[in-house]
Chain A
Amino acid sequence: MPRRIKPLDVYRLLPKLNCGKCGEPTCMVFATKLIERQTTLDKCRPLFEDPRFRENLRKLMELLRPPVKEVTIGVEPNAVKVGGKDVVYRHEWTWRNPTAIALDVHDGMGDEEVERRIKFVNEWFYERIEKRLGIDLLAVRCVSGSAERFVKFVEKVCKLTSKPLIVCTLDPATLEEVLKRIGSRRPLIYAATERNWREFADLAVKWSCPLVVSAPNDLSKLKSLVVSIVKNFGYEELVLDPGTLVSNGGFLDTISNFTALRYSAIEFGEREVGFPLMAIPATVWIFESGGTEELEFREAIIACSLVARYADILVMHSLSPWVYMAVLCLRDCLYTDPRVPPSVKPGLYEVGKPTPESPLVVTCNYALTVSLVRGDLEKSGIDAWLLVIDTEGTSVASAVAGKRFTADKIAEAVKELKLEEKVKHRSLVIPGYAAKIAGELEDLLPGWRVFVGPRESSDLPKFIREIWSKEVLGKA
């Protein structure tokens, strides 16, 4: 089981001044928040300023270090944090620092393609529960083999985006030239291999940039490289690339390797592999054949599987929204707090300014569904009453199947909230996915008409205008 620290262990080492400089009323509250990862140690000024606490500071940093190190790529305000994982399984505790997603560009690409990709990274997003999810990083590859050309290219990319970079080259001289120009942006360096690790580690230390250590499909070699760098250079800003293989068998070996490394780091406390993991689904484009969509499809499957299996960074090549929608959607789901269902408080909500003549729409209390239904009605200018039923934060389709969205519950809510006083027409619209409960609901609510609405809330405005209005109000 993962190591869980107790608030008292942390409290013992804090200054115990209750000075409030950290923004918390007491050191004990601060200690609790530190454990919950809701605040950071650097907020405690006395700890850093007063030499008497120096030893305690060291101990605290050690105590609070997550078994998978947190590594920062880039500089504020655009820095991206990866790793910092405390648990193997998300049901144990929230996974922190969502998998960062990088899109690649290289110095052999035409200007137009480069600009298209950077625009995608800068501007494209997929909206989900009022959040805008997009690409986090840009992976810049050297295909020209020319340091001069690559440096120019990287400088050009830097002018076009403020997103942090992953600099991809295996040549120390090229890397050195790049770092001289943009080292202060703190890019992630890809990668130290068995051939170049000394020079790469030296440059990473010199420029204080995080470094990927890479040994495809050979975990002993990977660990050896890490140990060599940590022992010789005292440097631990590392990310591990255990190789992303994409053939059918190789892909399973990769999933297995990611799992093993995460288990070793967290359950067995093996510090040498306690670093963020990088996956490179983009290798699909080298080793698999097929049409563009086929490769994109394959890349998406590999990316999603590795999001669920501990990847902290993904490097991708696809440029289609549907690929990133799936990856970002899964990431957004898996990185939520397992203790809190994304639910809305059940009850009656107003959309716009509803009157007794406005439609009464029933839905579940899954936050995403409520936000979609509300949004679709608002967008089309329909004022409505929205009755939200407690489905324990699950969607209508799941809740109907799992008997969470039942006629009983709706009837009870209608009576409890005295909805016959709110709406004159005594009718309600239930989602299409709940069609099977319509009959039972009419039996439970004598005098009420139950309309089975569309399955999808985007069709709801049309349904209300064309069917409900006509049937209930006698006008379309």
Chain B
Amino acid sequence: MSQERRVREERREAEARKVVADLLKLLSTADRLEFEDVVIDARELTIEFIPPSAPTGPTYLKLTVEPVGVPQPPGGKLEFILEVTPTGFRLLTPPVPGAVPITVPPIAAVPKLVEFIKVEYKYPSLEFKGSIAEVKIGATKAEGGTRSTVIKIGGDNKPPIFRFLGYVVNRPKVALDVFDTTIPLPRAVRDAYGDVLSNPYEWAKKCINVVKADLISFHLVSTDPGIKDVSPQEAAKEVEQMLQTIDIPFIVGGCGNPVKDLETFAKVAEVAANERLVLASVTFGMNIPKYVEVVKKFNHVALALIFMDVTQAKAICRRLMDLGLSKDRIILDPTTAALGYGTEYSFSAAERIRLAALRGDEDLQVPMSCAATNAWAAREAWMKLDAWGPREWRGPLWEAVTAMTMLLAGADLFMMMHPLAASIVKSVTEFMEKQTVRDVIEKEVSEYYSWVTKRY
């Protein structure tokens, strides 16, 4: 299109706009219209005037045009409905069936007075009648244990990061996994820890000193009858040694065999009496009364593992409570699937459990844990594949995203493995407890649009 022609067209458009504005003014006052001296480049033009159906409802114009000089549309006619607005008119979406896409923009009249209308946005005032029990992990000397700190989780009466309702009572905590025997670990994890992997106590120390773990999750994998079948007595010695090596609270994990785990827990609980460790975990396959007895007698915390299901979650918590365990002694693990391998089920199960608890379901008012380490089961996390990029970043990202998703759903305690993933999740949790300092975000707000205008 030549420059000259474009100018001419623009002028025509401006004129048309004025005509339309005047026309609309007329339309708004009249209920009957007659046209005179109108020139239209079309074989046929029908304008149907559709009055508002209610005093405040919109007015429509239906235009049927049989154009000249353009390729004929199917059926020979173009048909579209325009909605009359205070300032002009606009094409109604969705478009009328059969109408061909319109490439000419609808003409809008420039309003005479465009006022800024100041209104207030009110953050939703949500009220939740339930609150989550606060669970304490670890006991100090004063409480009969030997830990230097006590970790508190739960205790909130709102979903996480609803900052308009307040800040979280206790930020979620990050536990780093330590295994008591060599198991196959992904390359990125082996590289991150190096030599200490062969020594669980050194491994735990590194997690505390370098990764700044809130807790340790000590997995007694060697007790597995299919692996080393280490006896409960020996396992208890390992726990004693861990108690002496580190001074922060920890979680003791079994091998997943409900019979053997219960035997192991009984011995471990005894040697660590009053330390308020977490015994992970109790399932429906276990002798639940016996497990509860061990937890109560030696003053520890229960962790119940169920499979992504609200009904199961209710049932196991109810069972533990019926056996005399109070809410502040229970943590619920609704199972965390790796990103891409069932994430949505974990996410929705956790979200539903937390919402039900906050809406008043007393059976579910306990903190939730998330084994984000499971993310490493995904091939996307560990497999070497050039097209997917470096796994030393990809793997930790997979773990961190798995954790973040569960954090948003309401998880209060994370079991993680890679230092990079663990530290980013921990750094997010640290800011959940406190109000954002105005100065910190002022620069971000005032220079916000440099994301558009700057090179980076």
Contact = CB atoms under 8 A, between A and B. Distances in A.
B90 A402 contact: no
A300 B335 CA distance: 24
Contacts of B338: 395, 397-398
Contact of B449 (A170, A287, A321, A323): A170
A344 to B, nearest CB: 14
Chain A at the B interface: SS class = helix
A334 B347 contact: yes
Given A301-B424, A304-B401, A322-B397, A404 B307 contact: yes
A397 B404 contact: no
Contacts of B48: 51
A48 B379 contact: no
A323 B88 CA distance: 45
Contact of A268 (B124, B164, B347, B440): B124
A286 interface: yes
Nearest to B120: A220
Contacts of A395: 337-338, 341-342, 377
Contacts of A143: 452-455
A170 B452 contact: yes
A202 B348 contact: no
Nearest to B101: A75
Nearest to B374: A397
A33 B149 CA distance: 58
Contact of B339 (A263, A326, A366, A438): A326
A252 B441 CA distance: 11
A12 interface: no
Nearest to B118: A224
B388 interface: yes
Contacts of A234: 83, 85-88, 90
Contacts of A283: 444, 448, 451
B116 A224 contact: yes
Given A249-B434, A325-B388, A330 B162 contact: no
Interface in B419-454: 420, 424, 427-428, 430-432, 434-437, 440-441, 443-445, 447-454
Contacts of B444: 216-217, 245-247, 250, 283, 287
A402 B308 contact: yes
Contacts of B389: 320-322
Given A322-B389, A395-B337, A438-B226, A208 B397 contact: no
A435 interface: yes
Contacts of A123: none
Given A90-B344, A228-B115, A395-B337, A41 B94 contact: yes
B110 interface: yes
B35 interface: no
B117 A224 contact: yes
Contact of B428 (A168, A169, A198, A248): A248
Given A224-B119, A402-B308, A169 B379 contact: no
A305 B347 contact: no
B401 A208 contact: no
Contact of A55 (B53, B86, B255): B53
Given A234-B90, A369-B341, A402 B306 contact: yes
Contacts of B447: 286-287
B445 A227 contact: no
Contact of A297 (B306, B393, B437): B393
Given A272-B119, A398-B341, A296 B437 contact: no
B331 interface: no
Interface string A201-232: 01001111000000011111011100110011
A54 B83 CA distance: 13
A349 interface: no
A233 interface: yes
B202 interface: no
A368 interface: yes
B119 A368 contact: no
A456 B83 CA distance: 58
A304 B404 contact: yes
Given A219-B121, A458-B379, A300 B397 contact: yes
B436 A250 contact: yes
B273 interface: no
A20 interface: no
B34 to A, nearest CB: 20
A309 B428 CA distance: 15
A263 B126 contact: yes
A320 to B, nearest CB: 5
A357 interface: no
B343 interface: yes
Contact of A402 (B105, B257, B307, B453): B307
A208 B90 contact: yes
A401 B335 contact: yes
Contacts of B347: 90, 308, 333-334
Interface string A243-283: 10111111111011001100110011000110000001011
Contacts of B170: none
A434 to B, nearest CB: 11
Contacts of B144: none
A202 B306 contact: no
Contacts of A264: 121, 123-124
B351 interface: yes
A183 interface: yes
A394 B345 contact: yes
Contact of A205 (B88, B335, B404, B445): B88
Contacts of B114: 198, 228, 232-233
Contacts of B108: 202, 205-206, 233
B94 A42 contact: yes
Nearest to A338: B348
B87 A398 contact: no
A190 B335 CA distance: 41
B57 interface: yes
B53 A58 contact: yes
Contacts of B123: 219, 260, 264
B172 interface: no
B451 A394 contact: no
Nearest to B446: A216
B91 interface: yes
A252 B163 contact: yes
B97 A42 contact: yes
Contacts of A285: 451, 456
Interface in A398-414: 398, 400-404
Interface of A: 40-43, 45, 48, 51, 54-55, 58, 72, 75-76, 89-91, 106, 108-109, 128, 141-143, 145, 168-170, 183-184, 190, 193-194, 197-198, 202, 205-208, 216-220, 222-224, 227-228, 231-235, 237, 243, 245-253, 255-256, 259-260, 263-264, 267-268, 272-273, 280, 282-283, 285-287, 293, 296-298, 300-301, 304-305, 308-309, 317, 320-323, 325-326, 329-330, 332-334, 336, 338, 341, 366, 368-369, 372, 393-395, 397-398, 400-404, 433, 435-436, 438-439, 455-456, 458
16 contacts: A51-B48, A90-B348, A141-B452, A143-B454, A208-B90, A218-B445, A223-B119, A249-B431, A249-B436, A255-B161, A260-B123, A283-B451, A285-B451, A368-B340, A369-B341, A398-B374
Given A252-B436, A283-B448, A326-B401, 20 more contacts: A89-B355, A90-B351, A141-B452, A217-B441, A232-B111, A233-B108, A251-B431, A252-B432, A256-B162, A260-B123, A287-B443, A309-B161, A325-B380, A336-B344, A394-B342, A394-B345, A395-B341, A397-B341, A398-B338, A435-B226
Q: What 5 A-B pairs are tightest by C-beta distance, nearest first?
A: A234-B85, A402-B307, A249-B436, A256-B163, A322-B394
